[in-house]
């Protein structure tokens, strides 16, 4: 979830997904994930202040001040502020859905045996409805997979600005295999 992606972009990272990836890995990941998880829980049940929680406990650890401010302004204007005059999905409780979905991913991350399990988060536009999927391998209450996958699935928002790069960061990689005319082709999402 982030800026305006092009009309054929099948997935993106955006500020929240990219920041979740980064915050959940490396030295100090466990305490960072725990603080974010606890702040999200404290913001419930409506999660009206979730943008501020994401800003303080997520984006601030990954983004420069200027980029972070642009990202949080965008998130409030189009995604997370229930009082916004320009939301992408005015009848959908986006803040609550996103907060509860992210909290579930954080819970599964924290259930790893050796500390926080890294999160691999993606935004997938073109879903018929707004939903958040969290996927992991769990055995006896312990997350045993190498990562927790978080998919923020939304209808494609109407373009309200210049399309931006779909994937943030240097290591995230995505490919889409689809029909193009009569052929089947695989394309790198960064090249679309």
Would residue 44 count as lying in a domain?
yes
Q: What is the pLDDT of residues 29-70, one digit of tens each?
A: 999 999 999 999 999 888 989 999 999 999 999 999 999 999
Q: Per-residue pLDDT for 108 more than 70?
A: yes
Position 170 confidence tier, pLDDT thresholds 50, 70, 90: confident
Question: Is 4 among the domain residues?
Answer: no
* Total domain count, the chain: 1
- Predicted confidence at residue 149, as pLDDT, reads 98
Radius of gyration of the chain (CA): 16
How many DSSP H helices and E strands does the chain contain?
A: 5, 7
> Does residue 190 have a pLDDT over 90?
no
Q: Is residue 67 part of a domain?
A: yes
Domain-located, residue 176: yes
- Tell whether 31 is covered by a domain: yes
Element (H, E) at 94: helix 94-110
Residue 158 lies in a domain: yes
Give tens-digit pLDDT for 137-159: 999 999 999 999 999 999 998 76
Query: Is residue 129 within 8 Å of 98, Cβ to Cβ?
Result: no
Rounded to two decimals, the pTM is: 0.91
For residue 155, being part of any structural domain is answered with yes
**E strand segments, the chain:** 119-125, 131-135, 138-139, 142-143, 148-154, 175-180, 183-188
Instruction: Tell me which residue range forms the domain holding 167.
Output: 14-191
What is the per-residue pLDDT for 157?
87
Supply the pLDDT for residue 142. 97
**Residue 61 included in any domain:** yes
- Predicted confidence band of residue 3 (pLDDT cuts 50, 70, 90): low
Angle (CA) 12 15 20, round 5°: 95
């Amino acid at each position: 979830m982030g800026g305006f992606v092009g009309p054929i972009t099948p997935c993106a990272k955006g500020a929240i997904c990219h920041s979740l990836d980064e915050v959940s890995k490396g030295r100090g990941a466990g305490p960072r994930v725990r603080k974010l998880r606890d702040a999200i829980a404290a913001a419930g049940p409506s999660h009206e202040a979730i943008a501020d929680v994401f800003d303080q406990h997520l984006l601030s650890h990954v983004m420069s001040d200027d980029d972070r401010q642009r990202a949080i302004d965008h998130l409030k204007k189009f995604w997370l502020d229930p009082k916004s005059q320009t939301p992408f999905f005015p009848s959908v409780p986006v803040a609550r859905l996103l907060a509860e979905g992210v909290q579930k991913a954080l819970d599964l991350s924290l259930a790893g045996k050796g500390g926080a399990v890294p999160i691999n988060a993606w935004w997938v536009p073109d879903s018929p409805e707004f939903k958040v999927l969290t996927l992991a391998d769990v055995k006896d209450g312990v997350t045993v997979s190498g990562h927790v996958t978080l998919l923020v699935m939304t209808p494609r928002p109407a373009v309200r600005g210049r399309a931006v790069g779909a994937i943030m960061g240097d290591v995230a990689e995505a490919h889409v295999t689809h029909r193009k005319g009569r052929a089947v082709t695989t394309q790198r999402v960064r090249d679309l």
